[in-house]
Amino acid sequence: MQTLKEVSIMPTINATPFPYEFDIDHIALVCIDMQRDFCLPGGFAESLGNNLANIAPCAPVIGRLQAAFRKAGLPVIHTKECHKPDLSDLPTAKRNRGNPKIKIGDQGPMGRILIDGEEGSDFVPELAPLEGELVISKPGKDTFYRTDFHEYLMVRKITNLVITGVTTEVCVQTTMRCANDRGFDCLLVEDGTDSFFPEFKESTLKAVVAQGGIVGWTCKSDAILELLESL
């Protein structure tokens, strides 16, 4: 029995601003920053006064997409925003931004805030990577910045990215725009991303598809799940 990767298929997803066509051999799911420091009580995001309930809805959607991509034998990529223990990759301007009660690198309930290897920088358990899946540790909002993400995609000839995660208007949008500049066709999953500010999410969803999809496409997760199930 042939797998999806052994058959050249060019499916189309009903998306905004127009149908999204891709080669099944060259697509990957990207799950951005679903970390404990951002998503769970006691983390960095909550210390900034954010309402965690606003980003909770996207987690089960991302879980379903991960399961579907894995079943289809397609790549699932995970990113986490974190810094070296010596803070050598953390600019002062970023550490002081927002005048937080506790800053990146300070001790928090789940270890040092946003430091690679600490409990808080790890993924929420239900969305944890499986063995062999790529994990990108990034020191900024852009997944391409000071990482080997671009090289990974080029080596594997991945041209299409299905993007999910938090927050919509910060790391998700930044990564999507930078991917577009590098020639990748990106599909942002509307219910697979969230923001602490719902109005920012809505404005971002409108912005990326404006002017004929200047940054990319958006769609609901059901459109992707139904298509993968049908292949």
- Active site residue: 25, 31, 33, 82, which one? 33
Handedness of CA 161, 142, 206, 56 (dihedral sign): positive
Active-site annotation holds for 191:
no
- Residue whose structure tokens are 């599909």: 187
**Rg (Cα) of the chain, in Å, rounded?**
17
Q: Which residue, 28, 35, 20, is CA-closest to 152?
A: 28
Cross-strand pairs, 194 = 166
Asked if 171 is an active-site residue, the reply is yes
Given the residues 103, 138, 141, 201, the one annotated as active site = 138
Question: 63-72 burial string, b = 16+ CB within 10 Å, else e?
Answer: bebbebbeeb
Let me know if 138 is a catalytic residue.
yes
Catalytic option among 58, 82, 171, 186: 171
Q: What residues act catalytically? A: 33, 138, 171
